[in-house]
Amino acid sequence: MLVRLLSIGILSAATAVMALAPAKLTPYTEKDKPHSYDLQVKVDMQGQEVLYTAHLRETVTAKKADGSFSQKNEIVESYINMGGYDESQGTELATSHHGKNGLPTKVENEEPTVFHMRFMRLWAMSYPEGDVEVGSRWEVRYDHDADLGTPATKLSYEIVGKESVDGYECYKIKYEAHESESTQTAGGNGFHWIDIKSGLRVKSQGEMTNAPVQDQVFDMKYTSTLRKSKS
């Protein structure tokens, strides 16, 4: 169950895009052109470190006139390591739906729950209406949703500079996510590196505290890196 929920949350996390500054940010929505990532997640399970690794593939499948889009998310292969032994977790497929700002609005998988949406928000990428450049800041606030069961959440972003990552010239974007009105408040923070020319998310790195996984919470750290010239 832990691996399944991690997979859903990670697969459905929003994709990122940015153009030359100052310019407007818009989510990556180029159809039928997949891009892949190598993912590593370290989970603290009561003092024991569990390592989850996966090859992820994302493909935008549809885009609406209002800017919202749908995306196919695949786990091509995945493994979990406990006590020094790798165990294959197989493959998985999910479809996520995103608003025009790139944030996930719905995920279709075997057992989507309130925990999936909470998990996704801890490292999601969102985009403002206006133009941005280095130094720009913006935030998004979710109100408590009684129907969905999600707590109020605040997401904050700041473009802190430019960096070269694996040959890509990127904006480095700092993010923070904080829940409120929850018995076990979750949070997340880290960075997204966005290729200025192509708009692809080249790398993401961060950590989560009290990340919700069914009726349990875990602290975890993750790194997601774009696979160069791989499918």
pLDDT tens sequence across 106-149: 888 766 567 878 888 899 888 777 888 999 999 999 888 888 78
pLDDT of 7: 56
Rounded CA gap, 23 and 30, in Å? 18
Rounded CA gap, 231 and 227, in Å? 8
Average pLDDT of the segment spanning 55-74: 94
Tokens matching residue 93: 């497929």
On the question of pLDDT at 21 being above 80, the answer is: no
Among the four given CATH numbers 1.10.287, 2.60.40, 2.30.230, 1.10.132, the one describing domain 2-7+15-226: 2.30.230
On the question of pLDDT at 70 being above 50, the answer is: yes
The set of residues, in sequence order, having a beta carbon less than 8 Å from that of 129 and lying 6+ positions away, is: 24
Mean pLDDT score across all residues of the chain: 84
Q: What is the pLDDT of residues 143-159, one digit of tens each?
A: 888 887 888 999 999 99
On the question of pLDDT at 204 being above 90, the answer is: yes
Query: 6 falls in which pLDDT band (50, 70, 90)?
Result: low
On the question of pLDDT at 166 being above 80, the answer is: yes
pLDDT of 38: 95
DSSP 89: -
Average pLDDT of the segment spanning 149-172: 91
Q: Which residues of 24-51 are buried (b: 16+ CB within 10 A; e: fewer)?
A: ebebbbeeeeebbbebebbbeeeeeebe
Position with higher pLDDT, 216 vs 2: 216
Position with higher pLDDT, 56 vs 26: 56
Q: What is the pTM of this model?
A: 0.84
On the question of pLDDT at 163 being above 60, the answer is: yes
Rounded CA gap, 107 and 94, in Å? 7
On the question of pLDDT at 230 being above 50, the answer is: no
